Amino acid sequence: MAIINVPNDFSTIQEAVDIVSEGDVILVSPKENMEPYNEEVHITTNNIRIIANGKNVLLDGTIGSLDIAFSITSVTDVSGVEIKGFKIQNYNDGILISGGNYNRIIGNKIMVTHRGIICALSVGNLIWKNEVKGNGNGDGIYVGLQSDSNWIIENVVHGYNVGLRIEESRGNALACNLSFNNGIGFALFPSPNTLLLGNEVFKTSGQRIISSPNSVLINNKINCNDGELVVSIESKNCILSENEIKRNSDNGIASGGDFTIIEENNIQENKEDGIIVLNKNTIIRNCIECNKANGINIEGDENNVVQNKVCNNKVLDIDDNGTDNEFADNKCSTSDPQDICKNCHYKYYHYGYCPYKDYYCEYCPYKYTKYCPCRYEHDYD
């Protein structure tokens, strides 16, 4: 194994890549006078690392004259490559992984016109701590075409039509990413078994769309967007839990899929309904407050609505427009039919002896908390 220095040993990155062996490190330093590297780098060797030596190693595609800065692609599938710490600008696309497995794209700053990072037909890659900035077109990070079990973690994506797009792939994880000023924050079309954990989406101009069954959305913040979080009719058996969904210009959550669980979310100040669902969902232990239409709007049948704290919504706290929906222990003031808010067991308990407090995420649903600031006369019994 060897360490190859660019531009000392070779004047271009591609020259170093052409002679590299598995296990080697290519260490790329800035050129004299901080001139950029103006090249397309095609990587066909497994298990190499291409590392920027410092924060100012720049690849410049001179606006449209070059296509992709780094391409990890080969008929034999390239695996185990790491690209770390580069600044990339003015290419059509930033970094492409096509085929191969278990590559790592870490800590790059990418400003390109179409797609920042592309992962296609590739499994088990790590895309971590990159900043990707666009000009309103394309996708910030695209994972698709049977690209399964990839990790997309702690990236910042802004200025694209879609911030993060997962398409026709399974078992991917998106964690702790920041998506803002994009047309759509994230989109899953269709990508079963996807995890979205601890992401933040704000100031997007469109919907956040989930069209992926068996997916999990936990502890995400979706605030101040022109649109809603849509769980499409194809997305059965999803769970949305402990998310913060506030001040969006449409509904908070719109679910068309069966057997979705909407649990322990904080949904406030959205311009339409807090939650709107169709058939066979469970809505349990959410705080739904101050939405401009209904708190919970049931437009279908056979839903269970249990132990939610729903208050101060402009039209109704709960509106049931379907059949065979079940309601129990919801804390609300206004509903249609009117008896929904009366179908509660909390009146039999002093809140200090709330029977659910030991397993309700440390928050008793029947007393005032910072998490769910709805006040009722029963809170002071």
Give the per-residue pLDDT at 378.
38
- List the structure tokens of 172: 């991917």
pTM recorded for the entire structure: 0.85
- List, in order, residues 6 or more apart from 158 with CB less than 8 Å away: 132, 133, 134, 140, 179, 180, 181, 182
Alpha-carbon distance of 227 to 192, in angstroms, equals 23
DSSP state of 36: P
| Of the candidates 294, 232, 308, 304, the residue with the CA atom closest to the CA atom of residue 264 | 308
From residue 263, alpha-carbon distances to 100, 177, 278 in Å are: 38, 22, 16
Place of tokens 């809505």: 283
| Strand-pair partners of 95 | 70, 117
Alpha-carbon distance of 251 to 298, in angstroms, equals 13
Q: Residue ranges of the chain with pLDDT lower than 50?
A: 346-381
Three-class DSSP category at 62: coil
How long is the chain? 381
Alpha-carbon distance of 227 to 249, in angstroms, equals 5
pLDDT digits (tens, 9 = 90+) for 156-170: 999 998 999 999 999
- List, in order, residues 6 or more apart from 102 with CB less than 8 Å away: 79, 80, 123, 124, 125
Give the per-residue pLDDT at 39.
95
DSSP state of 161: S
- List, in order, residues 6 or more apart from 101 with CB less than 8 Å away: 77, 79, 122, 123, 124, 125
Give the per-residue pLDDT at 357.
39
Q: Which helix (H) or strand (E) holds 167?
A: strand 162-167
Alpha-carbon distance of 205 to 18, in angstroms, equals 44
| Of the candidates 353, 356, 378, the residue with the CA atom closest to the CA atom of residue 368 | 378
Give the per-residue pLDDT at 344.
52
- List the structure tokens of 25: 């490190």
Give the per-residue pLDDT at 355.
44
Residue 231 has a CB neighbour count (10 Å cut-off) of 29
Alpha-carbon distance of 65 to 261, in angstroms, equals 49
pLDDT digits (tens, 9 = 90+) for 202-254: 877 765 666 678 889 999 988 887 765 665 556 788 899 999 998 888 888 88
DSSP state of 15: H
**Is residue 62 a contact partner of residue 38, using CB atoms and an 8 Å limit?**
yes
Alpha-carbon distance of 130 to 108, in angstroms, equals 5
What type of residue sits at position 179?
S
**Is residue 141 a contact partner of residue 132, using CB atoms and an 8 Å limit?**
yes
| Of the candidates 350, 311, 306, 296, the residue with the CA atom closest to the CA atom of residue 328 | 306
Give the per-residue pLDDT at 380.
34
DSSP state of 327: E
- The values of phi and psi at residue 351, to 5°, are -65, -25
Three-class DSSP category at 13: helix
From residue 177, alpha-carbon distances to 44, 133, 186, 304 in Å are: 29, 14, 10, 32
Three-class DSSP category at 70: strand
Residue 219 has a CB neighbour count (10 Å cut-off) of 16
